[in-house]
Amino acid sequence: MKSSVQTIINDPGDFSYVIGPYKQPVATVSPGETFIVETADAFENRITSPDDDITQIITLPYVNPLTGPIYVEGAEKGDTLTVTIHSIEVTRDYGVSALIPEFGGLCGTVFTRTLNPPLPPRVMLHPISNGEITFSEDLDVAAIPYEPFYGTIGTAPELEAISSLAPGFHGGNMDTADVCPGNTIHLPVNVPGGLLHVGDGHAAQGDAEVCGVATEIPTRGTLTVDLIKGRHVATPRVESDEFLMTVGSARPMEDAARIAFYELVMWLESSYGIERLTAYQLCSQVARVRLANMVDILYSVVAKFPKRYIPRR
């Protein structure tokens, strides 16, 4: 497959730090086209040592650089853009994680403002080889499997330019491990070309991404885009062999869960003919949930319906 793909290369001077309609596309692809996209890690690949000072490296709002916008020919407002991920390769022999003061799930933040002294900054490098991640050479824990995904993927809103740190109805920084090879993501098209942005590769991540940082990596991914003309998705959907999934991003977290389940119920009704209140009651017996992040500008929750329970008639 790769022999014929068009490669899209990052221009390190041309990252996107917002997802919006105002930046010129870095590339154009066609519906059905398979292509390669490269992404820098969330820190612009600038961390090279555990001694690096994360507070110096982060210069808001220039964090979480995205590759894009990628213009998809023929995409129009009201369509759905689908992105099938074939592979995500890491282009470096290590990942990075960090503790960032005033950022994370178990500390005061710029939103959950407290007078407590902040946690200290800290950087760790995590060697990656042979499909395995070494968390620490000091702490003898089992290797972590390399299970890569894009932390951030999204399409441009019509007028807003949304920070690359934020998830939302447009996708964005959902930190959802289901945005991984083998799965297909559905995103809303709000402007001509859709304007796909992608980045924030993770070699591994715990549910909730509790300290705020996963095993951050630069990547080379192989993707296929396509369009569902004239059908709008209100919030990102992900489809795997096993699950129909919807992603809700909001605060408080229960609103993220409400959005995700509401959209899942509506999907089951509109596409699979299960009356909505029956779908609601069925989800209460069989649904699965991933808490994708509890650290970003909005929290993300994934509601999952096992496809084995789709009605057979």
**Hey, which residues between 117 and 136 contact its own copies (CB under 8 A)?**
117-120, 122, 124, 126, 133, 135-136
Burial class (CB in 10 A: 0-12, 13-18, 19+), 303: buried
**CA gap 123, 50 in Å, rounded:** 5
- Strands across the sheet containing 299-306: 6-8, 34-39, 219-228, 80-90, 184-188, 237-239, 243-250, 299-306, 288-293
Give the residue with the Cβ less far from its own copies, 133 or 185.
133
Q: Does 1 bind its own copies (CB under 8 A)?
A: no
Give the residue with the Cβ less far from its own copies, 35 or 299.
299
**CA gap 38, 117 in Å, rounded:** 38
The structure tokens listed for 158 are 């019509």
Q: Pick the closest to residue 307 from 258, 274, 277 (CA basis).
A: 274
Backbone angles phi, psi at 40, to 5 degrees: -85, 165
For the segment 236-265, give every residue that binds its own copies (CB under 8 A).
248, 250-255, 257-259, 261-263, 265
Q: Does 215 bind its own copies (CB under 8 A)?
A: yes
Q: Where are the alpha helices (DSSP H) in 226-290?
A: 253-272, 276-286
Give the residue with the Cβ less far from its own copies, 177 or 223.
177
Give the residue with the Cβ less far from its own copies, 29 or 265.
265
Give the residue with the Cβ less far from its own copies, 31 or 104.
104
Q: Does 156 bind its own copies (CB under 8 A)?
A: no
Q: Does 160 bind its own copies (CB under 8 A)?
A: yes
Q: Does 174 bind its own copies (CB under 8 A)?
A: no
List 3, 56, 139, 230, residue binding its own copies (CB under 8 A): 139
For the segment 272-301, give every residue that binds its own copies (CB under 8 A).
274, 276-278, 280-291, 294, 299, 301
Nearest approach in angstroms of CB 218 to its own copies is 17
Backbone angles phi, psi at 251, to 5 degrees: -130, 145
Determine the interface stretch with its own copies among 4-12, 29-37, 46-54, 208-216 (rule: CB under 8 A). 208-216
CA 290 to chain centre: 13
